[in-house]
Chains A and B, each alone.
Chain A
Amino acid sequence: MAAINRDDVAHLARLAHIEMSAEELDRMAGELAVIVESVKSVSEAAGDDVPATSHPIPLTNVFREDVVGHTFTAEQSLSGAPDAYEGRFKVPAILDED
């Protein structure tokens, strides 16, 4: 597996929507390289015949009756929003005008 470098971290930070300063990218790249190195052995631990486990105690077909349950009012839903307008979440421009 490839080592993680500063460019990778910059790319991942963009994907994860976290702005990072140059200093932060340097530090994070160093720390993550150590962590990634330490988890490498995981990829050699299991052969192809071992099935993956996504959930420790899987349950199947978990359904409920198709009836209206508890719902929040618009006011409750918006109560923690940084900005709201006429019963809706208000956000800055979705698209860059440039």
Chain B
Amino acid sequence: MTETNSELVRLSAAALAAKLAAREVTAVEVVQAHLDRIAAVDGKVNAFLHVNAEQALAVAAEVDAIRAAGGAEAEALHELAGVPVAVKDLIVTIGQPTTAGSKILEGWHSPYDATVVERLRAAKMPILGKTNLDEFAMGSSTEHSAYGPTRNPWDLDRIPGGSGGGSAAAVAAFEAPLALGTDTGGSIRQPGAVTGTVGVKPTYGGVSRYGAIAMASSLDQIGPVTRTVLDSALLHQVIGGHDPRDSTSLPDPLEDLVAAARTGNVEGMRIGIIKELHGEGYQAGVENRFNEALELLKGAGAEIVEVSCPNFKYALGAYYLIMPSEASSNLAKFDGVRFGLRVLPEEGPMTIERVMGATRAAGFGDEVKRRIILGTYALSAGYYDAYYGSAQKVRTLIQRDFDAAFEQADVLISPTAPTTAFKLGEKLDDPLAMYLNDVATIPANMAGVPGLSLPGGLADEDGLPVGVQLLAPARQDARLYRVGAVLESLLEEQWGGPLLAKAPSLTDASSAAGAALSHGGSH
């Protein structure tokens, strides 16, 4: 990799867009730099399940040709034209396989593009490839991928979060400036927190779900995964807005999120600490960085208030009833008939029912099976009211908690995850311990409100990234960008640059030790 290439991959999407527009660099050079970086480090990180080199370079060449020709077509190019992006492999794409991280879809090609992918293509953003995830987005560590775990670029022995660990790690390892994720209970925000990157779960219905393979339809939402708050706003602006092909898509016009990120301001804003989402159960280093973030916001003119959301303690339990219930129904279509794997029973009568049983036994991993069984249980006669029905009532209580909290505060704030990245394998045999990672992110999905996670610094005890989460009322995504941009710039002022500048390079032999040497907190 040339010096120029290694500098290019460290630029933000906004900076790349400016260089492309000024014709200081070509889109082909930008895409090639990222493909080179993927070739150099993805053997260690395993962020990508498929690399789409040829198509990405072709799109880049097209952008370069349009720019070189000038005229109306060049004028009409989208701001991000030529800036490459990676796509979580839960989102369907023509011309590349979509696996959902599952053996049951190995080698499957979608005959259509997701709406968000159509919008990336319309903006002429080259798609670098498809990123790894927990199977069908079920997990918090990417260890439930059928194609091996993704590793955290800060420490290759640790998890990158999940389910979207591939997208977060790709961005953190400078393999892509931008990526798409999906967030059902924290799958964009928690990987963002543990990899020192930015992730946004938009308001439910703010981004079309058409073409995202559904886990829990009433909770799933597609969103941006980036290294800066402004880049998230830029990508959100590309993918957001109404889509008639998703009946849950909000008809509201999209706010100017980019302007919100560019004109960040917290003066006079009331920022609410959620009493139930910090303190006990949160790692000391997480708590410390969180408290420092509050001080910075206060110094910038925000008023810090405390709010209580007493029903959040039921959120995790209710989530683990609603999500598996919807998942068990959504995953019924993987039956060896219309797409993907078909496994024939080894003996006995060859009926379709037995083929389904054998196919799903071989095609699904343990976590997917657990959730399907749990969902089938929660929806079964005799248990429906006690489980699914009760969980839906809890959902109402959580919404009421948010409504009350947003009477007292314009934006809420909490740590994104209770701990920093844990070791690969550490929680694999304890599903309940794994589920606890999402305790702070789940309430937003239950209520449909938007959330953003940004890096808050490194924990003193392990030198690993900590995430700070901002939550806003439904349809007020712009507030997240306004506050996030301020906090990001104040923190980077303290750090003397982006947090990821402290991450190991991954290209030299000493990179594994780099994380341990480069910590020391964010003071």
A interface residues with partner B (beta carbon < 8 Å): 1, 4, 8-9, 12-20, 24, 28, 31-32, 34-36, 38-43, 45-46, 50-57, 59, 62, 64, 72, 76-77, 79-83, 89, 91-98
- Please determine whether B357 and A19 come into contact, CB atoms closer than 8 angstroms: yes
Closest to B390 in A: A43
B351 adjacent to A94 (CB under 8 Å): yes
B520 → A minimal CB distance (Å)? 38
Which B residue's beta carbon lies closest to that of A75? Answer: B111
A29 to B172 Cα, complex, angstroms:
38
Q: Is the CB of B317 within 8 A of A39?
A: yes
Min CB–CB distance A61 → chain B (angstroms): 10
* CB < 8 Å A-B pair total: 187
B61 interface hit (Cβ, 8 Å): no
Chain A residues within an 8 Å CB radius of B364: 18
- For residue B161, CB closer than 8 A to chain A, the reply is no
Interface string of B197-217 (1 = CB under 8 A from A): 000000111000000000000
> CB of B26 within 8 A of chain A?
no
The reply to whether B244 and A64 contact each other, CB–CB distance below 8 Å, is: yes
Judge whether A82 and B340 touch: CB under 8 Å. yes
B432-A35 in contact (CB<8A): yes
Q: Which one, B340, B361, B474, contacts A19 given CB within 8 A?
A: B361
Mostly, the B contact residues are helix
Task: Identify the 3 closest CB pairs spanning chains A and B, nearest first.
Answer: A56-B448, A82-B342, A46-B393
A72 and B342: CB pair below 8 A?
A: no
Shortest A21–chain B CB gap in Å is 8
A59: chain B residues at CB < 8 Å are 205, 247-248, 250-251
Cβ-defined contact, A17 with B373, below 8 A:
no
> What residue of chain B has the Cβ atom nearest to residue A90's Cβ?
B337
Query: Given A51-B393, A52-B392, does the pair A17, B335 have CB atoms closer than 8 Å?
Result: yes
Q: A46, A81, A98: which contacts B396 (Cβ < 8 A)? A: A46
B393 touches A32 (CB 8 A): no
B91 lies within 8 A of chain A by Cβ = no
Contact: B390 with A42, CB < 8 Å?
A: yes
* A41, B342: Cα distance in complex, Å: 40
